[in-house]
């Protein structure tokens, strides 16, 4: 029997677009209260009416850059009382920069990926999980990637950051063993979002080639996997979900339509 999400508080980072926005909509449809975090507050505010119409009884938007340790601590420590008992944390904020051989890459790309995908994940988790432990209730759902399972050419630092997410999730699950708090890693393959446009710093033509002649996953597919993991009975912990488009066998093998 699945868990009801009605009036549960769901915190989603990177919620202003892509997988984060699709996940917010999926939880809204199931009656969850949404604590939405993103750097672009205006994007969150623009989504609010649609999320309320979909069924969310309450929404609290927060401007937050997960890379900023002090901001994460201050913002999440000073949430209104009604929003502090977070039931589900979706650590979705993440990005990739560049597709270049390690020895040629811009070090600033590394800094941004590590600060967001690894340190940002840690900062938010450290701020929220102690409350879950105290209440003996909660679920942390981290967004990983197929890139965390095997490195691919010209993406070594991004792959390393997602491998770090996978092992952080595994280690946190061990640390929480004996409590009722669950940990899940959702690891998608190719998903059609702004991911490639961000990776190539706005080069839409280059980004479009990523999804050329293939039916990639959509953000809603990932949101569906997140929702499914979150609604399993309390004695069930979905540890990892690795999902790809049918045309993608692994990080290397992709069949494109002719």
Catalytic entry in 103, 123, 152, 158: 158
Residue appearing with tokens 């569906």: 224
CA–CA separation, 127 vs 114, rounded Å?
18
Residue 132 near residue 181, CB atoms below 8 Å: yes
pLDDT, the chain, mean: 95
Q: Report the CATH number at residue 183.
A: 3.40.50.720
Q: Do 150 and 251 meet the contact criterion of CB atoms below 8 Å apart?
A: yes
Q: How many domains does the chain have?
A: 1
Say if strands 181-188 and 59-63 run parallel, antiparallel, or are unpaired.
unpaired
Domain enclosing residue 134, as ranges: 9-243
pTM for this predicted structure = 0.95
Q: Does the residue 92 lie in any domain?
A: yes
Say if 225 falls within a structural domain: yes
pLDDT in tens, the chain (258 residues): 689 999 999 999 999 999 999 999 999 999 999 999 999 999 999 999 999 999 999 999 999 999 999 999 999 999 999 999 999 999 999 999 988 999 999 999 999 999 999 999 999 999 999 999 999 999 999 999 999 999 999 999 999 999 999 999 999 999 999 999 999 999 999 999 876 667 667 767 776 777 888 999 999 999 999 999 999 999 999 999 999 999 999 988 999 988
Residue at 27 is within a domain: yes
Q: Which of 48, 57, 76 is nearest to 7 (CA)?
A: 57
Q: Is residue 2 part of a domain?
A: no
Tell me whether residue 122 is in a domain. Answer: yes
Please tell me the distance from the alpha carbon of residue 173 to that of residue 221, in angstroms, as a whole number: 25
User: Is residue 258 included in any domain, yes or no?
Assistant: no
Please indicate, yes or no, if residue 165 is contained in any of the structural domains.
yes
Residue 254 in domain? no
pLDDT value for 74: 98
Q: Is 103 a catalytic residue?
A: no
* Interval 53-86: pLDDT, tens: 999 999 999 999 999 999 999 999 999 999 999 9
In DSSP notation, 201-243 reads TT-HHHHHHHTTTS--B-HHHHHHHHHHHHTS-TT----EEEE
Residue 195, pLDDT score: 64
7: left (phi over 0), alpha (psi -120 to 50) or beta: left
């Amino acid at each position: 029997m699945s868990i009801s999400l009605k009036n549960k508080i769901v915190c989603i980072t990177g919620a202003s677009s892509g997988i984060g926005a699709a996940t917010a909509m999926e939880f809204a449809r199931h009656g969850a209260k949404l604590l939405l975090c993103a750097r672009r507050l205006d994007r969150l505010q623009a989504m609010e009416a649609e999320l309320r119409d979909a069924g969310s009884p309450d929404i609290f938007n927060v401007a937050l850059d997960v890379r900023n340790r002090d901001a994460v601590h201050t913002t999440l420590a000073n949430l209104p009382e009604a929003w502090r008992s977070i039931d589900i944390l979706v650590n979705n904020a993440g990005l990739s920069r560049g597709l270049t051989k390690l020895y040629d890459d811009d070090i600033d790309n590394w800094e941004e990926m590590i600060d967001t995908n690894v340190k940002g994940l840690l900062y938010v988790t450290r701020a929220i999980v102690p409350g879950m432990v105290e209440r003996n209730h909660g679920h942390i759902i981290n967004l990983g990637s197929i890139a965390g399972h095997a490195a691919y050419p010209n993406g070594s630092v991004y792959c390393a950051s997602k491998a770090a997410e996978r092992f952080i999730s595994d280690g946190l699950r061990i640390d929480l063993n004996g409590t009722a708090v669950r940990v899940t890693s959702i690891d998608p393959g190719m998903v059609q979002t702004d991911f490639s446009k961000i990776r190539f710093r706005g080069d839409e033509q280059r980004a479009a080639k990523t999804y050329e002649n293939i039916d990639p996953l959509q953000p809603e597919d990932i949101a569906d996997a997140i929702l499914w993991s979150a609604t399993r009975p309390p004695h069930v912990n979905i540890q990892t979900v690795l999902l790809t488009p049918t045309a993608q066998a692994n990080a290397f093998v992709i069949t494109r339509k002719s």
